[in-house]
Amino acid sequence: LHSRAEELERRIIERDLSTQAAETASKQHLESIKKLAKLEIECRRLKAIARKASPANDQKSYTASSICVESFTDSQSDSGERLLAVETDMQKMNGLEMNGCDRSSSDAWASALITELDQFRKEKAVGRNIMAPSVEINLMDDFLEMERLAALPDTESGSGFNDAGPVSYQTSIVENPLKADLENLVHRVAELEEKLALTEEEKSEMQIALTESQKQLKTLQNQLSEAEIRFKDVQTQLALADNSKQAAEKEVKVANMNREVAESRLRDAETEIKTLMSKVTSLEEAFGKEQALSTENMNKCKELENELSKMKCETKLRQEAELQHAAKYNEELKVQQ
């Protein structure tokens, strides 16, 4: 039972370590979310740059948007057709803008694009885990905002660049820094996606380890409950054994007391037997003496009886002789008379 308790403590420590590792993975996951928030701030900065761009930047925004769409189509091949439809709508919108359509038609195409991208975002959010959709939604929000800004050029910046010079000159000014920023953004997004995938894998592994630890903990708890039940049974048996032992000890004490009483009585009996034996010995000696005396007396009695019988015979003979003599004397007297 002690070894099982030690094993249970060891496994509880392992469970705590697994929980700490899972918490560490969660913290890393939160750090990745913070990095994504920083990325969102970077995207907003790029949006601010895009607001300062001229209407001639629409083609560049379209190119950057196409790069973002290609990155999404590479990672999400199942949504390629919808992204192609979005690009077609963007081409139509840009074509209308280049042909000099009014602001209301651009707003209509932009609203249609926003609706399409919102629907795409909702469909991509279904069936994914908790953290991955948030990353995609943030990226799609950035993409949506950039497309909206590209579809709705800022009036102030547009007027300034229309006054400044031709479209090609404006594009050459804004194209290089915006392209570099977008490339950096794409690289950062790819790195963060890789880190997020690794974090998700580590999180899943830690969740599996945590589940196994919980299963082991449940098994150990069941074993501990069984051990406690067995321990209670053993305690009950020990209590019964103690009661039996105490009863046996009492019986032994009573038996010892009875034995001591019997031994004392035996000693008294032995003393009495010794006394009686001595008396018997003395009586036997006296009986022997009396028997010897009685034997002598019997012999004397026999001798006296023999002498008495002899004397009786002699007396009888004498009497007979005297009677015969008297008879003879009487006869003689009679004869003389």
The pLDDT tens digits of the residues spanning 172-213 come to 444 566 667 667 767 777 777 777 778 778 778 878 877 887
Report d(CA 273, CA 60) in Å as an integer: 138
Token pair of 223 as six digits: 């074993």
Q: What pLDDT is stored for residue 176 in this prediction? A: 61
Residue 14: inside a domain: yes
Report d(CA 191, CA 199) in Å as an integer: 12
Residue 256: inside a domain: no
In this structure, how many other beta carbons lie within 10 angstroms of the beta carbon of residue 139?
Answer: 22
Report d(CA 143, CA 69) in Å as an integer: 8
Does residue 294 surpass a pLDDT of 70?
yes
> DSSP E strands: which ranges in 130-243?
none
Residue 77: inside a domain: yes
Residue 107: inside a domain: yes
Q: Shortest CA distance to 47 belongs to which of 170, 190, 159, 182?
A: 182
Token pair of 32 as six digits: 């990745």
Q: What pLDDT is stored for residue 175 in this prediction? A: 52
Residue 60: inside a domain: yes
In this structure, how many other beta carbons lie within 10 angstroms of the beta carbon of residue 300?
Answer: 10
All residues at 6 or more sequence positions from 133 whose CB lies less than 8 Å from its CB, including other chains: 124, 125
Report d(CA 7, CA 309) in Å as an integer: 120
| CA distance readout (Å), 266 to 127, 262, 273 | 100, 6, 10
Residue 126: inside a domain: yes
Token pair of 11 as six digits: 């496994």
Q: For residues 294 and 130, which has the higher predicted lDDT (pLDDT)?
A: 294
Classify 15 as helix, strand or coil: helix
Residue 115: inside a domain: yes
Torsion of CA 21, 26, 30, 35, to 10 degrees: 60
| Mean pLDDT value across residues 233-242 | 88
Identity of the amino acid at 244: S
Predicted model pTM: 0.30
Number of domains present in the structure of the chain: 1
Report d(CA 196, CA 207) in Å as an integer: 16
Residue 237: inside a domain: no
Name the average pLDDT for the chain.
Answer: 68
Report d(CA 225, CA 234) in Å as an integer: 14
Token pair of 12 as six digits: 């509880």
Q: How many residues does the chain have?
A: 337
Choose the most confident range, by mean pLDDT, from 53-57, 83-87, 306-310, 331-335.
306-310
Q: Are 90 and 114 in contact (CB under 8 A)?
A: no
Q: How many CA atoms lie within 13 A of 205 on its CB side?
A: 9
Q: What percent of the chain has pLDDT over 90?
A: 7
Q: What pLDDT is stored for residue 146 in this prediction? A: 54
Report d(CA 23, CA 245) in Å as an integer: 56
Range of the domain at 8: 2-227
| CA distance readout (Å), 167 to 21, 156, 164 | 56, 16, 9
